Structure 1
């Protein structure tokens, strides 16, 4: 029988070796492809209501994913132009890293004129429409005659006859007014904040994300900015763009992964050395951690195709949990020198398996919420734990040869358990629990709850401010708030866009909005085109008649477009003139079509509810606020996870009762008290409670109960306590370092785990049972 078990163990060890070799091959392929994601929005769920708009906005982000925008400004245009030239020369010295893009030359105005010219009489602005509807023909004729006299060096009389009121010219001027950027001395220029600015646009030539955390673009832009200023304090250089955020995220994540991952690994190995004074435990524990991390990355990449940067930062803390299995094994080997490695493993396996199950369930609880990022973290951590566990169980009994002598540290830790107090029905216990309550209750009372999606933002504040300033100066609409318009046909979508603009006209007059970015500005609905053509044609005919009578002759009317001929959306989409706005059209969306309208100048959150109300009065139109939607989802899943956390605690209680009977409460009580303590710490420190804090409590439930399980499995012998102390110390270091993360969500997660694990470490031996367990004799006999 014993030989059969040995052969089975060797067969499983070989099978695990083959799986590990396959993981190594996958790791080589993964890191060569660098399938890493830096987009914060990829972490977030997509609601059914905004799924269509999300696809458009992601397409918009993709179109500028390789673009860096730089604004060079000063109070004087001549100084601005000179500074911009110095900046361009400095970036050119960086080789091909940044390729300049001429935005002025990118739009072919002559081709756009040729495309729209057949529909000249179909295109009116709101102001022109109002002028023609309210204007007296005699007054309009006088204006047209004045314009004719002013064209002595301009268009011929026949051109005037085609457009006597200058409607075509004014329509193009209104289109140009949509952007604040104008051509000046061959440069893209604008004015704002008391400065004259030059807009410089660059295209990056290599991925902004770098596994090494390099900041090539930022370094080059910083050098070029210094060259542009050249000691002139009035010259300001502002750089923004998705590549800069991605580069900053990569650099920060590289730093945090090194600090958290390598820092916690070094701490774990140092603890192992102090406890065992042997190279063998260090090598084998390090091996289990390396295999666990590799398996986690491979599994996440296979399931999700890409691994998010924040997942790697979060996963770096896995080191502080996965080493518990190896440490527990070697502590038992040290305490049982006459026992064989397989017998020690058989003795430890029930408790280790139960501890693994509670930890994996806690990690997988993170994946209940439909957050892609949370599901990545859950899968990453659960697979990493299982892989580390299998490495310990299947390989350690085969690779571990030789005895481990007790050290001064291990003896001291084992003996310290006897000096630890227990919970008793006495005055000292009552005073201790009372002091704990005096800390917990006020802390929870002053706790703040914040469900803000911006808690996931980790870009440097200076870069965020530069992005906001650039958007404000350029008048770029924010993609966070928009209007989603649906219709059965493309023309119905355009008509509903026009209805939305009419509904929001009062907001523009009040200064709450600056305008729109909408397809219907460039392709009006068929009904609007026909109505405008009829209005313009009727008034222009009257104007030509009156002017001709004044001049004493006749003016031939130009050839008009057929009455039913209109500019269609497919024709516009098929022409290059639609390039800059094509991303706002969704093609077929379910049983119909849809488009997105972006709002310009929406900076006051207080007016958004009124704008949302006005938009929702239009059939087929829907106001979408991604920040509000996602923050609501964070709130919803924080509440949901809080209830699931309570259900999980009840489930763990039943599992412990099944295994230990009425003594099961001793494993759960320390974790519940520690959870309350960690929440109180957040309140005292002013760290807001959010979804990630609740998720940390779910993880604490799985990790903390392990300590109670080990003390119930092997009560009073000091060996399990040594393993608990070493494991908890490494877990504290891992999550303590995670609390240093610049990402607010990870910081809150780390703070919750740091205080919670520390508390459960201190409280678990309080609740250990009074009886002693003959674990040593059983293992040696096994």
Structure 2
């Protein structure tokens, strides 16, 4: 009864702590794939949040076929009923004309500048403009500015912006001989909650399927972060449930087969659930948002936490007075080495890995406490069945015979691994796309929409400045350089010229008396140039705002603007960044991949440091000669894992290296248990059960559709097989047992 009371009190304490922490912190479950990416440096992060945060809620749809217009209108109306409105609401030309007309004489197009210098040429130009009776720019501005300078400026600005045609308010694009309609909408801010994102995505996809059945000759494609996050969330939830359930089932089968006892099954359950609750408490305390993929990786805790229960229960079946000193030492060393391995994830640039590190470290500490405190009270109810005894003796004998060939096996492995490394050197790929598990058709939709918008070969650039006017001046100089390279670019300064340029325009208009007299003669109206100049603040508080608000940020800390350049190769763009120190090429994928590459290099260094630390630890505890053997096992295991995974996957990623870090921690565990308790049948059985449970758990991850999880699971699975074979080679058996 005491054992039951203490165990229930332990579980009650953990559950109470979890409830308290949950109420106080109120965490949310996040499934936004973009939230996994490393954060940029503070200045760039502020710019990203201002410029691109809204893209998370943007959805895009393309329509092609005979009934594209009907499908477009039906979907737009249906989305509006869901409070999902069009993202782009362009101002009326009359509104723009009224706004720009206030600054007549300061806003002049390039064509107008060329004509104004010669009276005869200007007369021809002006007459041709007046004859365009249907031109909305002329008709809407002539009353405010009879010189038609504003009309020319507005016409030129809109021509630069118009990358596609508008037909009855719908965006029309001709691409590879086909006509497409495009619809851009903005979903609600709360659409990325775990349940609403999935529900909204499923509703939209179902309605699109209904439209395609209604209009079979029309194809509708959809894209947007919402669909990616929903797909990843559904896959993660499925894998989390499947992997967790199958792993628990496998552990139940193993425990029941070995111990044939409800008590043993209960203790295994208590150990695993204690680890899960302890890890969850730590996660909630440290992170306000927990990513759903964290829970998929965290399933691996089951395979590690159960190790403590296996070793503890098997040791108690042979010790009349609680745990042996050897097991106590091995458990402590195992906890220290494994937690150190996972603690290295705390500093990962990928928040997913940081969360996994916190969850597993806290879970392992809780599992260790559970094993040390609770298991001794259940000693009387623990026994091993005969079949498990026979298996333990058989495995022990096999591993003892294996140690006779340790030198030959070690040399053979060194030769094979060296030859393999020379013939097929491993290649590390740090592409951030490995985080993505989105369906192929969704990726194809994204690629199509990028091509339709002409952004598949464009490059985003960001220009920083001390203030708004300096930004506009630099943009005007940069724009001239880019267009001199036959590139195309639309900048903020196309719509809001700098005051420096406006002053030049005003001076040129003021000095062109003959041209202005032509205006007066033809219209009978005097030409009056306005005094005030257009500035950025005025533009941001005008009908022009929807066109520019998302292109510029200007506050007390920084001023910056982004734009996209097409038609210029990357080498020339990099030359531009050298010529303009405040200009950067913004390639988020490349930036994150570069960050992951640096982290991959640091992981390799961490692996080397960990092996050095293990060598020192083993030398102090077991002697230098034994430590060298154990370190050789670690080196062979790590090399074998990387080479085999490289062959199976064709390339390695940061997740393979993270898997190696875990394998290193587990390998040190096995080496410690072998060195402390040798190849005794109970120790071999405990390690075999631990290895089998871990292989099962990580083997499940190796069938994941998420590339990152697959790489991690495959690495640990291969590593467990290798370390199970190599670890016994480091044991120094008595000479009479080696004969």
Give me the TM-score of the superposition, normalised by structure 1: 0.84
Counterpart of 1:432? 409
Distance 1:521 1:156, change over 3 A: closer
Counterpart of 1:599? 564
Q: Indicate whether 1:454 and 2:433 are aligned.
A: yes
1-structure distance, mates of 2:141, 2:227: 53
Counterpart of 1:249? 232
Counterpart of 2:469? 491
Distance 1:232 1:213, change over 3 A: closer
Where do 1:135-534 residues align within 5 Å?
A: 136-151=118-133, 159=142, 162-165=145-148, 167-169=150-152, 171-172=154-155, 174-175=157-158, 177-204=160-187, 207-209=190-192, 215-230=198-213, 234-336=217-319, 339-340=320-321, 343-344=322-323, 348-398=327-377, 402-422=381-401, 428-429=405-406, 431-445=408-422, 446=424, 447-475=426-454, 481-507=459-485, 509=486, 513-516=487-490, 518-534=491-507
1:371-419, Cα deviation, whole Å (9 max, x unpaired):
4333222222211211222222222334565232434134312442122
Q: Indicate whether 1:642 and 2:636 are aligned.
A: no
1-structure distance, mates of 2:519, 2:451: 46
Counterpart of 1:35? 29
1:283-317, Cα deviation, whole Å (9 max, x unpaired):
22222222222322332232232222332222122
1-structure distance, mates of 2:409, 2:498: 75
2-structure distance, mates of 1:690, 1:16: 39
Contact 1:682 1:751 in 2 (8 A): yes
Question: C-alpha displacement at 1:729, in angstroms?
Answer: 1.0
1:444-484, Cα deviation, whole Å (9 max, x unpaired):
33122223222223322221221222133134599x95333
Distance 1:41 1:505, change over 3 A: farther
2-structure distance, mates of 1:208, 1:105: 21
Contact 2:64 2:181 in 1 (8 A): yes
Contact 1:68 1:242 in 2 (8 A): yes
Matched residue of 1:344: which SS? Answer: coil
1-structure distance, mates of 2:197, 2:213: 26
Contact 2:263 2:378 in 1 (8 A): no
Contact 1:100 1:201 in 2 (8 A): no
1:154-195, Cα deviation, whole Å (9 max, x unpaired):
878992792444652552453265244544235443333323
1-structure distance, mates of 2:374, 2:509: 86
2-structure distance, mates of 1:214, 1:415: 54
Q: Indicate whether 1:82 and 2:70 are aligned.
A: yes
Counterpart of 2:553? 586
Contact 1:494 1:524 in 2 (8 A): yes
1:414-456, Cα deviation, whole Å (9 max, x unpaired):
44212224566x7x55553454345422433312222322222
2-structure distance, mates of 1:273, 1:107: 72
Counterpart of 1:777? none
Counterpart of 1:713? 676
Question: C-alpha displacement at 1:723, in angstroms?
Answer: 0.8
2-structure distance, mates of 1:661, 1:180: 73
Contact 1:331 1:719 in 2 (8 A): yes
Counterpart of 1:776? none
Distance 1:193 1:544, change over 3 A: same
2-structure distance, mates of 1:504, 1:316: 52
Matched residue of 2:534: which SS? Answer: coil
Question: C-alpha displacement at 1:242, in angstroms?
Answer: 1.3
Counterpart of 2:60? 69
Counterpart of 1:543? 515
Structure 1 unpaired stretches of 5+: 1-5, 774-782
Where do 1:744-759 residues align within 5 Å?
A: 744-759=707-722
Distance 1:219 1:174, change over 3 A: same
Report how many residues are paired: 730
1:616-642, Cα deviation, whole Å (9 max, x unpaired):
312432333333322222222222221
Counterpart of 1:3? none
2-structure distance, mates of 1:493, 1:129: 25
1:85-107, Cα deviation, whole Å (9 max, x unpaired):
45457x47xx95x4342456564
1:247-298, Cα deviation, whole Å (9 max, x unpaired):
1111111122123332222222222222112222222222222222232233
Question: C-alpha displacement at 1:725, in angstroms?
Answer: 0.5
Distance 1:27 1:688, change over 3 A: farther
Counterpart of 2:102? 118
Distance 1:535 1:381, change over 3 A: farther
Distance 1:462 1:693, change over 3 A: same
Matched residue of 1:199: which SS? Answer: strand
Question: C-alpha displacement at 1:233, in angstroms?
Answer: 6.2
Counterpart of 1:684? 647
Q: Indicate whether 1:622 and 2:584 are aligned.
A: yes
Question: C-alpha displacement at 1:236, in angstroms?
Answer: 1.8
Contact 1:211 1:250 in 2 (8 A): yes
Give me the TM-score of the superposition, normalised by structure 2: 0.89
Q: 2:693 aligns with which of 707, 720, 730?
A: 730
2-structure distance, mates of 1:144, 1:742: 65
2-structure distance, mates of 1:600, 1:274: 66
Distance 1:395 1:522, change over 3 A: farther
1-structure distance, mates of 2:34, 2:113: 45
Counterpart of 1:557? 526
Contact 2:674 2:731 in 1 (8 A): yes
2-structure distance, mates of 1:211, 1:218: 11
2-structure distance, mates of 1:193, 1:170: 32
Q: Indicate whether 1:765 and 2:724 are aligned.
A: no
The range that moved more, 674-683 or 394-403, is 394-403
2-structure distance, mates of 1:173, 1:597: 20
Distance 1:710 1:112, change over 3 A: same
2-structure distance, mates of 1:303, 1:333: 36
2-structure distance, mates of 1:589, 1:453: 33
Contact 1:140 1:165 in 2 (8 A): no
Structure 2 unpaired stretches of 5+: none
Q: 1:697 aligns with which of 640, 654, 660?
A: 660
Question: C-alpha displacement at 1:14, in angstroms?
Answer: 6.4
Distance 1:466 1:179, change over 3 A: farther
Contact 1:257 1:313 in 2 (8 A): yes
Question: C-alpha displacement at 1:705, in angstroms?
Answer: 1.2
Distance 1:103 1:679, change over 3 A: closer
Distance 1:102 1:698, change over 3 A: closer
2-structure distance, mates of 1:382, 1:650: 22
Matched residue of 2:323: which SS? Answer: helix
